[in-house]
Amino acid sequence: MFSSFVNLNALFLTIFWVFKYILQAIVAAFILLALVFLYNKYVVSRFLSSSVSETLAFMRNGVLVFRPSRLSWGCLSFICISEGRRSSSALSIDGISLNEALIHNFVITLNNIMNIPVTISLLIRREKSSLLRYLIISSRSVFLRKALKRVIRAKEALSSYLSSLGFVISSPNKEDYRKLLECGLFFMPKFRLSFRMGKDDEKFEKIDSTTLSTIKNLLFNLPDDHGIMLVIKRFPWVDNVSRENGDEVFHYKFGLYLFCPEKIIESFRKISTAILSSVLNTFLLTALVKKTSRSRIIRSSVSQLAIFPRNNIVLETQKFAASTCRTKVFSGILNFLLASVEEKVLPRLIIFDEMSTGNIKLGHQLMNGQPVKPFCIGIDDLRRHLLIVGPTGAGKTTLAKIIIYQLLKLRKRPAIWILDFHGEYVSLRDLGFIVISPGKEEAPLGLNIFDPGSEDPEIYANFLSGLLNELVKSVSDSFSPQMQRIVSAAIYDVVMDENEKRRNPIFFLQKIFDICEELSPEIPSAKLSLHAILNRLKVIFSGVARHVFWVTKTNIDVKSLLGMDIVFDLSYFSARDPTKKALWIFVNVLLRYIYSEIIGEEKLITEDPRVFIIIEEARYVAPAIKKNDESIVYAAEDLVLLGRKYGISLCFITQSADNISRDIISNAGAVFMMGDAPREIIDKALSHTTTKYLQIMPAREALVKISTKSALMHVKLDDISQLEIPHRIRKPENDVVLQELRNNYSPIGMPYERFVLKLTMREITASELSYTL
């Protein structure tokens, strides 16, 4: 009995001690949780919300040292990554592609660094039109020396790897430090990602131009300046493992934040979740993104948040796909890092010493991207005509203005005429240019296209017939053979009329009416042709074009203006002529007048250019269209083919070489390729590397092909804001020219539509015909 009592007592004691230990464990866990809660609430939160000046202790060996609390240290260092990257062909590994090799090495490097207890943060910040990239390495510890050692070791490893990839890395400057240390508003929407990959998906994620362009466009399309920060803390950090349908599922965590200036908080508050969701969908192409809770906003700095990140993204993946998932996430990081970093594919072109001595300096010749010698052209190069090709923003107008400014400095130079379609040269009025604006009252220009000027009337009539036929063909249905004969006959009769007062649109339309009336008894369809012709000609005699063409005489004396500098401001005309066909007629007739005036002089041949004509939007002047009659030559083509020996120099500017006449391309003495190039040059003179560089070429750079040189040149234009612009006093004769334009401007009194109605109704009498004039 005593024995039973002893055993029972021992059992109770055992139960007592078990409960005691369980209670102590619960109390200890509660205390631990309380300490963690208090640490996060009072230490971490206080550190994140406090000003940097209160927590930044000092800087040692390029590392910022923070003091989050009395018991811990935080260390942080930045790496700035440049926008360019040198060629990385040396990275290729046998059996896998260059891009796969890049990812492979990146994964290995990050895995090695993640064995060091540090946090890696990728920051991409947009400022206006630039994307600035930083890698932030941070660590925290009770011992300062240990935290410093971790950060320096990880930074050296990352810097060495990035340098081997061709990145140019540097330390932040004072402005970078200020931006990265100042407080901002961070948006933290919570997301859950899910990778569902089969075993066949265990392969590298490709880095292609489409992915990079998608990310880059996403970053640039966000409103206002902003920053996106991706934080990886010992990634992949396995939070827990659960079972779903018999498969083990790993849960990883990392952070993704969006921050912005306080002034635009409301606009960002509304779209922050959508923005970060788009980032994740682009960053992790194979993951499914789900929002799990509302966005949080905290006020902190990049540096402080990098030391105490908040893991707001949960990534789920099946156990067998864990390594593939990690590779895909790392490749996503690399894609994001490369979002606005283009590999430098620099063309290896030749430097020409003789191109550094001309009297028109445009910039510098580049070798491997570095300026080596000046790049200059001379007056002789202008005689062979210029062609400037490139998309909007490439610097075409800048190049033209540099040529103009350099010409104005020369004592002996040609007059400068500019056909300005967008009003970009109107400011040259301050440098003594006459600005003529067709369609505007302050400087009206009337062009009677039936006046042959100094040219032989018969030759001019043939030119005008071809021009109008091409115009009507491009506006609507082309002229039928019968309509062509009627229009050509009317043009011939009007232009050849000995009475100069009858060479105008009124008598041209009257002549068309008379011819159709004569033909109608024998050809009943002549009346239908009359209405079809009048309807097609409306494009040049009504709307804004009526201010230019619906006139009785030409009010500009081309011959007297050949020695003056003139800007034809066509911006008003162009903006109100949707088809640009009337504008096309205007330019061709004007250039024809110039051509006929110069070749009509006694001194025909000249070595020196007399007039240098800059033609913006060359596709409106000599477009690459198939002509009905190959004998038809546009005025611009005439000038290119024959104008050089008469002292006419031209500079054609266009966005694409595919939409202008091939005669202009083949006869250009110098071609400036600023993002695009004629197909002939691409096929014959450009290598694959040079063609690739042409597509990503920065603004104000050009590949130059001189007809007298066998090779291309890589040129960077001078900064136009640093050029010395010659001071010129406005000439009194300029005001005289403009006043004469206003005095001699003679529009037809009756609108085209009303005149046509009266004409077809036979209500126009001889007296009314004179009245309209």
User: Encoding tokens for residue 534?
Assistant: 């009048």
**CA dihedral for 571, 573, 576, 577, sign (positive or negative):** negative
pLDDT at residue number 346? 66
Flag whether pLDDT at 764 surpasses 80. Answer: no
3-state secondary structure (DSSP) of residue 733 = helix
Q: Compare 219 and 364 and report the one with higher pLDDT.
A: 364
Average pLDDT for residues 500-517, to the nearest whole number? 86
Residues in CB range of 321: below 8 A, 6 or more apart = 195, 197, 199, 201, 202
Question: What is the identity of the amino acid at 192?
Answer: R
Average pLDDT for residues 49-68, to the nearest whole number? 87
**CA dihedral for 266, 268, 271, 272, sign (positive or negative):** negative
User: Encoding tokens for residue 83?
Assistant: 């926008």
Flag whether pLDDT at 528 surpasses 70. Answer: yes
Letter string b/e over residues 728-752, b meaning 16 or more CB atoms within 10 A of that residue's CB: eeeeeebeebbeebeeebeebebeb
Average pLDDT for residues 109-117, to the nearest whole number? 75
Q: Extract long-range pairs of 57-61: CB within 8 Å, 24+ residues apart.
A: 60/148, 61/148, 61/152
Neighbours of 288 (CB within 10 A): 13
Average pLDDT for residues 340-348, to the nearest whole number? 62
Q: Compare 150 and 626 and report the one with higher pLDDT.
A: 150
* Tens digits of residue pLDDT in 414-442: 889 999 988 889 988 888 899 998 888 77
Question: What is the identity of the amino acid at 13?
Answer: L
Average pLDDT for residues 233-248, to the nearest whole number? 61
* Count of helices and strands (H, E) across the chain: 28, 26
CB 492 within 8 A of CB 486: no
User: Encoding tokens for residue 31?
Assistant: 């205390």
Measured between alpha carbons, how far is 764 from 766 in angstroms, rounded to an integer?
A: 7
Bridge partners of 386, per DSSP, are 651, 670
3-state secondary structure (DSSP) of residue 728 = coil
pLDDT at residue number 416? 92
Percent of residues, the chain, with pLDDT higher than 70: 81
- Rounded to a whole number of angstroms, the CA Rg of the chain reads 38
Measured between alpha carbons, how far is 149 from 264 in angstroms, rounded to an integer?
A: 39
Helix or strand (DSSP H, E) at 696: helix 688-696
Question: What is the identity of the amino acid at 318?
Answer: Q
β-pairing verdict for 712-717 and 226-233: unpaired
Nearest to 359 by CA among 301, 411, 418: 411
Question: What is the identity of the amino acid at 585?
Answer: I
Q: Compare 367 and 96 and report the one with higher pLDDT.
A: 367
**CA dihedral for 579, 478, 449, 657, sign (positive or negative):** positive
Flag whether pLDDT at 217 surpasses 50. Answer: yes
User: Encoding tokens for residue 526?
Assistant: 């002549």
CB 63 within 8 A of CB 76: yes
Q: ∠65-67-70 over CA atoms, to 5°?
A: 145
Neighbours of 126 (CB within 10 A): 17
Q: Compare 234 and 169 and report the one with higher pLDDT.
A: 169
Flag whether pLDDT at 468 surpasses 90. Answer: no
Measured between alpha carbons, how far is 740 from 443 in angstroms, rounded to an integer?
A: 10
Nearest to 193 by CA among 335, 292, 114, 332: 292
* Tens digits of residue pLDDT in 557-597: 888 888 889 999 988 888 887 777 888 888 888 888 887 88
pLDDT at residue number 64? 92
Nearest to 491 by CA among 521, 468, 473: 468
pLDDT at residue number 92? 43
Average pLDDT for residues 33-56, to the nearest whole number? 75
CB 491 within 8 A of CB 585: no
Using CB atoms within 10 Å of the CB of residue 680, give its burial: 0 to 12 exposed, 13 to 18 middle, 19+ buried: middle
For the ranges 14-23, 230-239, 397-406, 742-751, the lowest mean pLDDT is seen at: 230-239
Measured between alpha carbons, how far is 732 from 672 in angstroms, rounded to an integer?
A: 37
77 pLDDT band, cuts 50/70/90, is very high
603 pLDDT band, cuts 50/70/90, is low
CB 437 within 8 A of CB 426: no
3-state secondary structure (DSSP) of residue 59 = strand
**CA dihedral for 634, 635, 637, 641, sign (positive or negative):** positive
Measured between alpha carbons, how far is 35 from 772 in angstroms, rounded to an integer?
A: 98
pLDDT at residue number 382? 83
Question: What DSSP string describes 131-156?
Answer: EEEEEEEEEEESSHHHHHHHHHHHHH
User: Encoding tokens for residue 172?
Assistant: 């932040």
pLDDT at residue number 403? 92
pLDDT at residue number 146? 92
For the ranges 82-91, 256-265, 412-421, 702-711, the lowest mean pLDDT is seen at: 82-91
Chain centroid, CA 512 distance in Å = 49
Q: Is the peptide bond before 391 cis (omega within 30 degrees of 0)?
A: no
* Tens digits of residue pLDDT in 657-695: 888 888 788 888 889 998 888 877 777 777 766 777 777
Question: What is the identity of the amino acid at 582?
Answer: A
Measured between alpha carbons, how far is 770 from 508 in angstroms, rounded to an integer?
A: 14
Residues in CB range of 294: below 8 A, 6 or more apart = 189, 190
Question: What is the identity of the amino acid at 363?
Answer: G
Mean pLDDT of the chain: 79
Measured CA to CA in angstroms, residue 270 lies from 190, 257, 258, 267, 301 at distances of 15, 15, 12, 6, 21
pLDDT at residue number 632? 53
Give 723's Cβ-side CA count (13 Å radius).
Answer: 22
For the ranges 25-29, 86-90, 281-285, 587-591, the lowest mean pLDDT is seen at: 86-90
Average pLDDT for residues 512-534, to the nearest whole number? 81
604 pLDDT band, cuts 50/70/90, is low
CB 666 within 8 A of CB 401: no
Flag whether pLDDT at 209 surpasses 80. Answer: no
Residues in CB range of 1: below 8 A, 6 or more apart = none
pLDDT at residue number 536? 83
* Tens digits of residue pLDDT in 717-736: 998 888 887 776 667 778 88
pLDDT at residue number 178? 84
Percent of residues, the chain, with pLDDT higher than 90: 7
pLDDT at residue number 95? 47
User: Encoding tokens for residue 426?
Assistant: 């109107």
* Tens digits of residue pLDDT in 287-334: 788 888 878 888 888 888 888 888 888 888 877 777 777 777 777 777
Q: ∠37-41-46 over CA atoms, to 5°?
A: 150
pTM exceeding 0.85: no
Residues in CB range of 261: below 8 A, 6 or more apart = 184, 185, 224, 225
Measured between alpha carbons, how far is 459 from 693 in angstroms, rounded to an integer?
A: 47
pLDDT at residue number 679? 77
Letter string b/e over residues 220-248, b meaning 16 or more CB atoms within 10 A of that residue's CB: eebeeebbbbbbbbebbeeeeeeeeeeee
pLDDT at residue number 90? 43
Bridge partners of 378, per DSSP, are none
pLDDT at residue number 281? 78
pLDDT at residue number 137? 92
pLDDT at residue number 352? 84
